[in-house]
Amino acid sequence: MRTIIERLVGEALTRRIPETVPRNVRVKKMPGKVSVLTGMRRSGKTSLCFQTMQGLLASGVPRERLLYLNFEDDRLAEVRVGDLQWIIEAFYGANPALKEQTCWFFFDEIQRVPQWELFVRRVLDTERAEIMLTGSSAKLLSREIGTAMRGRSLTTEVFPLSFREYCRFQDVHIPVRPVYGDRDRYTLAKAAEGYLRTGGFPEVQTCEEDVWRTVLQEYADVVILRDVIERYGLSNYAAAKALARHVLQNSGQLMSVSRLAVSFSQAGIACGKSLLFDVLEHLHDAYFCFPVEVHDRSLKRRQVNPKKVYAADTGLCRAFSSGLTADRGAALEGLIYTALRARGLHPDYVVTPQKTGVDFVYEEAGAWHFVQACWSLADAGTAAREFRGLADALPLHPKASRTVVTWNEAGEREGVRIVPAWRWLLEEGQR
């Protein structure tokens, strides 16, 4: 293993750092602490490592002081924690003078190495080094960091592209000031349509439709195999795949795991509800999906009531459907959820005493906000339902702002702001 590691370090030190399209993600950094990037596979964690490396080069840091290693390289499949010391030996062996200078180590998907945290802690304590780690398992990283690093890490969550970043990838102009002429509104509305269809995974932004679908389906398969089946030693691949597909095809819907277990068994997929609960938790851990609880002060009622489960990306949902979506409103709702979640918010859904509802409620900077997702308010019955839910929920937080996000309608009604999706997404991306 020593020879393999020495060869990989040598290759890494001479390899050109790839150029990337800049992301708006602010990576949390502090001297003496490890920067940790977590998020679903292919969401852009590696690109952020390269973006950070390019920034260091631009600031005058010599290339030889930067080391990037990807632990999903098949040549590192058998590496053990004791072998990791050869990374340090090979790095400083190539240039002993670097021992007296600050160097930067970027370790991608390092959680594949058991007890990796012991090595990282030692390097942090004994070398003049800044370290950035990435991983596709929030729970695994946080548990290991929490026990071995003891407060010496800062975690940044990385999600697929925001709408602003999507526009940058697609060369769509966004006015510097939020003043939009007719041409701007048309262009940004078209971009929002593309964003809803394509999703935010960086790699697929320029793919043809058939390639795009295949790539995203492979993303899902890798999450199921590596982040659920292999990582947790499960054997029921059919049940895990069926649950993942159900999440993607029913994003934003209330989920009853007990009913799903019965349904899967009737379809010939033998599984119990305890297994499905575990798989759902593992999918959440891998940022594949996100459960949303009912808004209630009672912890027991929050736990007992069914959860809505949102997929990580609208493009990923469409890759497993025959069209954009059977319900465009559901796709819009998913877009809103992922935008809020990417900002670090954890919205709830609301069921009022009158049995009406609000899609999202969240608190930010001491202020409460209600948000409804509605593709169109043209139908009088639909509009009445959306506004009635907001009115019924207001006693919960009387000073809360109220917003209906539509596809292309704007205005104000009954104290509720109506805003088109493209504009709401741009506003959220600036916060």
State the 10-residue block means of pLDDT for the chain, 431 residues long.
95 93 91 92 95 96 97 94 96 95 95 90 93 83 67 90 96 91 95 96 93 96 94 94 96 95 94 95 95 95 94 95 70 96 96 97 97 97 97 98 97 96 88 58
Can you give the pLDDT at residue 141?
Answer: 66
- At 84 the pLDDT is 97
Q: Tell me what pLDDT residue 429 has.
A: 63
Answer left, alpha or beta for residue 411, where phi above 0 means left and psi between -120 and 50 means alpha: left
Tokens found for residue 119: 């090595």
Contact 234, 240 (CB under 8 A): yes
- Cα–Cα distance for residue pair 184/201, rounded to 1 Å: 24
Q: Which amino acid is at 430?
A: Q
Rounded Cα distance between 286 and 139, Å, is 8
Instruction: Please report the pLDDT score of residue 74 as a whole number.
Output: 93
Residue 143's pLDDT is what? 65
Instruction: Give the count of beta carbons closer than 10 Å to the beta carbon of residue 335.
Output: 24
**Rounded Cα gap, residues 431 and 423, in angstroms:** 13
Going edge to edge, which strands form the sheet with 66-70? 66-70, 103-108, 129-135, 34-38, 153-157
The number of residues in the chain equals 431
What is the pLDDT at residue 15?
93
Residue with tokens 């119990």, as numbered in its chain? 272
Rounded distance, CA 403 to CA 203, Å? 33
DSSP label at residue 326: S
Q: Are strands 253-255 and 153-157 parallel, antiparallel or unpaired?
A: unpaired
> Which backbone phi and psi does 49 adopt, to 5 degrees?
-60, -50
CA angle 348, 35, 427 (to 5 degrees): 40
Amino acid at 33: K
CA–CA dist 43, 25 (Å, integer): 12
Neighbours of 284 (CB within 10 A): 17
Helices 209-222 and 237-249 sit at what angle, rounded to 10 degrees? 130
Please tell me the predicted confidence (pLDDT) of residue 355.
96
Q: State the greatest distance between any 2 C-alpha atoms of the chain, in Å, as a whole number.
A: 74
Looking at residue 325, its pLDDT comes to 44
pTM for the full model?
Answer: 0.93
137, 279, 283 from 227: Cα distances, Å: 7, 10, 8
In this prediction, residue 21 carries a pLDDT of 87
Phi-psi map region of 413: left, alpha, beta (phi>0 left; psi -120 to 50 alpha): beta
Give 206's DSSP letter.
Answer: T
